[in-house]
Each structure stands twice: as C-alpha cells, then as structure tokens.
Structure 1
C-alpha cells in the first residue's frame, strides 16, 4: 500500500447485511407477475439511480416500482417492503473500524436514499458513533462508482485520493475507486477488512 491518511467504508454489505429478495417477497402478493419476473424486472435502473442521487422523491420512485413491477400496493405497502431488506449488523467490522479510528480518520460512503437512510440509521445506531462522517449519495447528488463522487469526498475530508483506502463489497465500486485514484479493497467478509488493516499495522 501507498501511504494511507484516511479510511473510507461502504455500509451495506460491509457493516450491515441487506437482501433485496426480502422486498421482492413482500411485494409478490401485490403483483400479477411471477417471482422470477419480479426478480428480473427489479434492479439498478434509472429511477433507482435517480432516487439514490436524491433527484426524485420516494413517492416518484415508488410509482416507478408500481409501474415496472405491476404492483397494486399503496406507497406505505411498497415502503414496508423497501425498508424491510436490512439484516444483522456486522459488528466484527464495526469493531475493527472503531479500533482503526484511533489511528486514522474513518469515513463512510453509501449509495442510499432517504427512505433507506432513515431505516438503517434507526436499525444500526453504532454507525453514527463509529464514523467521523457519513457521506450519502442522496445528499451529495453523486453515486459510486462515479469518479466525481470520490473526488467530492477527497476534497471534503482534505485528503488526496491516493492516500484514501476504500472498502466496498461490490467490484464495480472498487474498480471505480481505483480509477479515481484511491486505494481499494473488495470486502467479501470481515476478514478482508482485518487483513487490510493488519497491513497498516493496526
């Protein structure tokens, strides 16, 4: 590794578990489509990306889901599935971040939306206490793996991209971070975080 001055962590898949299959299962009774087609239709489409950039409201995004998935559900019923995806806190990783924070500033960067942010903020109170600052795509108007998003965070924390070590579970975000000049680690389990921190003598 080159010199590291700050650590930057993804949230979902790194410090807490989530599974969109839970949302699809919740919505299935409200749709005429079979589960297989619901799974095929749901995904990272343009309304999803707009919602994560804060460009559209929850109601507008839920309406796009209603059309795409042929849902008869109300906004409240869609929101119940949308916010029901969260699983266990990955406390081993949060513990490692807390320890690393004694030596480096630690930040988080999540592709998220206002609905999910409210849900995971309530479900995982340690997040706010563990990180120096949490950057949200819906607040900064940019998403991973966009180079501009990483540049924005580097500027905000006052650390050169090359001196930031980034952790994310998705390979496309790791590749995007490296292309933006950061050092990066793909996280498949807490062991990947531990091993990277050990290389920093933490």
Structure 2
C-alpha cells in the first residue's frame, strides 16, 4: 500500500499510541549529527578536482548503496571514490576522510531513548557500512547501551527504504509492522516505512522525538 498522493510529513506524524509495542530509531540525523562536507574537506588536498568539482562528483550513487548493503567492501568502495573524486590517496587517507563526517551526539534524544526503554523495547536501524559502523560505535559509546539491538544495513544486506529491509527488521523485532513506531529524519525513509505498514515520525528536530515519546507516556 502506497502513502496517499500529496501526503505531507506532518500527517505522517499521526500515529496510534494504543498499538505501539516497539520503537525503531534511525541513527544519523536522529541520534547523532553527521556532515559529508567534512569528508570532502579532508579529501580536497588529495584530489585533482576543484572543491566545486569534488562536491559535484560525490554522490550517494549505486556504489555507495552497494557498500551500505555490504556488497562492496571498504577497499573496493574506496577504489570507486579514488576514481570518481580523482584522489591521489591511500586507503587509509580515504578512510580518515570517510570517518570525518561524524559530529556531535544528540544528547537530548539519547537521554529520551534511554528513558523510553522503561516502557518499550528500543531498536535502531541505520543505513551504514562496516567502516562507519565501527567508527560511530567508538565515537558514540552510548549507542550500544541505548538500544536492544542496532540493525546495520551492511549486516542485513538491505537498506532503507526498501520494503524487504523493513520486513526483515520487524520480523527480527518480533512485532507486526503496525506495532512498530519508526523515527527517521529522511522523508523517503519515513514514507517507505509507512508504505510497509509501520507507524512513523518524521524527525526534523529532537522536539519531534520528545513529543512522540510524551504521547506514548514515556516522558513527563
């Protein structure tokens, strides 16, 4: 079932607290901040391209998606970056830039998630790759202690907003889609989850998470 044409993100915030049995959170943009501009800034001195050309050459293309599904390992994906971004760089130099995207932890959200665990099992689902997964586990040690399980796209071989990915995660959680409340900052992922029957919250700021958790009775 597809979302209604023209349905706005605001209407996607309307969920039924009475049937929610588990919470599922995106990580990047919801639990921690990240910015690929920092990767490009690191790579700029290593590239034959201008800064503008570098920005235009980098994209979340099919190789990027294959890397996040675990279909390309880090070395193979870094080779694609080396070609597309005209980088004269070792894998290690590319990796350092690749991991420079991680910024600050969104403390308010993580505190709220930990409070919500007294009421609901809490899970995370991230489109990520093995290098980034290892890096953010190190950068944000609270993540491992804030969720019952973290689903990484590179581990399960599927990405949001693929229907098979949401079906896999709901099966692993052990709840029907309608009983899972999903939080994500990207509208395409929110709409994909809604089309698969999950209840959803489009996160534009920590206030959206806190407001939803208050509706569920998890916060004062």
TM-score category of the 2 structures, normalised to the smaller one? over 0.9
Separation in structure 2 between the aligned mates of residue 50 and residue 182 of structure 1, nearest angstrom: 25
Separation in structure 2 between the aligned mates of residue 139 and residue 57 of structure 1, nearest angstrom: 12
Question: Is 2:149 aligned against 1:129?
Answer: no
Q: Which residue of 127, 137, 142 corresponds with 1:111?
A: 127
Question: Is 2:112 aligned against 1:96?
Answer: yes
The residue that corresponds to 1:161 in the other structure is 177
Q: Deviations over 1:28-87 (max 9, x none)?
A: 111111111111111110110010000111000000000001111111100000011101
Separation in structure 2 between the aligned mates of residue 48 and residue 155 of structure 1, nearest angstrom: 26
Q: Deviations over 1:123-171 (max 9, x none)?
A: 1110000100000000000000001000001101110001100001111
Separation in structure 2 between the aligned mates of residue 184 and residue 70 of structure 1, nearest angstrom: 40
Structure 2: state its 5+ residue gaps: 1-14
Separation in structure 1 between the aligned mates of residue 39 and residue 53 of structure 2, nearest angstrom: 14
Separation in structure 2 between the aligned mates of residue 94 and residue 121 of structure 1, nearest angstrom: 14
Separation in structure 2 between the aligned mates of residue 19 and residue 171 of structure 1, nearest angstrom: 18
Q: What is the TM-score when the length of structure 2 is the normalising length?
A: 0.90
The residue that corresponds to 1:41 in the other structure is 57
Matches within 5 A, 1:6-25: 6-25=22-41
Separation in structure 2 between the aligned mates of residue 94 and residue 77 of structure 1, nearest angstrom: 31
**Superposed displacement of residue 184, structure 1:** 0.8
- Consecutive aligned runs of 4 or more in structure 1 exceeding 6 Å deviation: none
Separation in structure 1 between the aligned mates of residue 169 and residue 184 of structure 2, nearest angstrom: 15
Question: Is 2:25 aligned against 1:26?
Answer: no
Separation in structure 1 between the aligned mates of residue 107 and residue 130 of structure 2, nearest angstrom: 24
Q: Deviations over 1:81-102 (max 9, x none)?
A: 0011101110100000001110
Structure 1: state its 5+ residue gaps: none
Aligned residues between the structures: 202
Q: What is the TM-score when the length of structure 1 is the normalising length?
A: 0.98
Q: Which residue of 64, 67, 71 corresponds with 1:55?
A: 71
- The Cα RMSD (Å) is 0.7
